[in-house]
């Protein structure tokens, strides 16, 4: 058990990559607080973990809102006495669109969910990390940060900000034994993918996307969960400030 004795809070864990991360962590012995904006989805993932013999509790709330962030950390600490691992995974997509058609509300929605949530999570975790003598943060960024695509500028910029914040926090928090790393998935098989494609994904589109990936398929939730597990575990004890591509070679 690679996370035995640890407890974790995973944001946006009601679906996709976050759900896979929560389940993988629990399978490795972590006790998991499952956050999502959608309380029913958070509870369903927590229930699935418990049904599989793990320990999980739902911690619903908006990861971009101060009171909710404080509350979800409090749920984790109240349930498990600690919060060793914080996975800041919640995020939203952008529908591809020319920049002149992107309204300010879209910019704010994406930066709130993707960047403000990482800032708040990292900030409000500090008292707990200090009290217990360390911890680890894993952030879900994206390969788009370094390979921006047309029509997705706001989303790409949000993930660049997240990587920059990850690296800044890594050097700042090393002194209190908190490691901070990011995983950067490429286009992944989650409900979010449809949004990036601007609607339903035809078999032809799917084929085109997979053909561009050297390892010949899209990113799967299990790929991201395994990478996050490694970065969260003590196996990564000397690794901080990296942005790890989980992309089948797509970014090379
Ligand atoms: N799917 C992809 O192609 C892809 C690629 C690279 C990176 N990512 C990133 O991976 C992360 C997870 O995305 P996914 O693909 O699993 O998508 P998803 O839509 O399947 O899951 C995202 C979850 O986050 C939740 N969420 C959104 N905003 C929230 C908030 N403010 N507070 C709490 N929960 C919130 C949603 O309710 C949803 O359950 C995101 O940060 C996304 O940007 C996705």
Mean pLDDT in order along the chain per 10 residues (252 residues): 97 98 98 98 98 98 98 98 98 97 98 98 98 98 96 98 98 98 96 88 88 96 98 98 98 94
Tell me which residues are annotated as active site.
155
At residue 205, the pLDDT reads 86
pLDDT at 62 (0 to 100): 98
In this prediction, residue 203 carries a pLDDT of 87
End-to-end Cα, the chain, rounded Å: 33
Residue of the CA atom closest to atom 20 of ligand 1: 16
pLDDT for 159: 98
Q: Is the CB of 248 under 6 A from ligand 1?
A: no
* CA 89 / ligand 1 centre spacing (Å): 6
pLDDT of 173 reads: 98
Domains assigned to the chain: 7-191+220-245 (3.40.50.720)
The protein residue whose alpha carbon is closest to atom 2 in ligand 1 is: 188
- Can you give the pTM of this predicted structure? 0.98
Instruction: For residue 224, give the ligand 1 atom closest to its CA.
Output: 10
């Amino acid at each position: 058990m690679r996370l035995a004795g640890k407890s974790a809070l995973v944001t946006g864990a009601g679906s996709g990559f976050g759900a896979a991360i929560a389940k993988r962590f629990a399978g490795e012995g972590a006790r998991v607080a499952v956050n999502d904006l959608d309380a029913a989805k958070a509870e369903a993932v927590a229930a699935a973990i418990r049904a599989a013999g793990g320990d999980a509790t739902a911690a619903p709330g908006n990861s971009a809102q101060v009171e909710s962030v404080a509350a979800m950390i409090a749920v984790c600490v109240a349930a498990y006495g600690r919060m060793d691992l914080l996975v800041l995974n919640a995020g939203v997509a952008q529908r591809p669109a020319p920049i002149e058609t992107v309204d300010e509300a879209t910019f704010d929605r994406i930066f709130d969910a993707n960047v403000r949530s990482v800032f708040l999570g990292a900030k409000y975790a500090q008292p707990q990390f200090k009290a217990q003598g360390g911890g680890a943060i894993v952030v879900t960024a994206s390969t788009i940060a370094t390979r921006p695509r047309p029509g997705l500028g706001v989303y790409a910029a949000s993930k660049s900000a997240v990587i920059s914040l990850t690296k800044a926090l890594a050097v700042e928090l090393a002194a209190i034994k908190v490691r901070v790393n990011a995983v950067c998935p490429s286009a992944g098989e989650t409900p979010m993918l449809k949004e990036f494609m601007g609607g339903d994904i035809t078999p032809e589109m799917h084929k085109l996307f997979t053909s561009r990936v050297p390892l010949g398929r899209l990113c799967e939730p299990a790929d991201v969960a395994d990478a996050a597990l490694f970065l969260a575990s003590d196996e990564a004890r000397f690794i901080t400030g990296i942005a790890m591509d989980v992309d089948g070679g797509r970014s090379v």
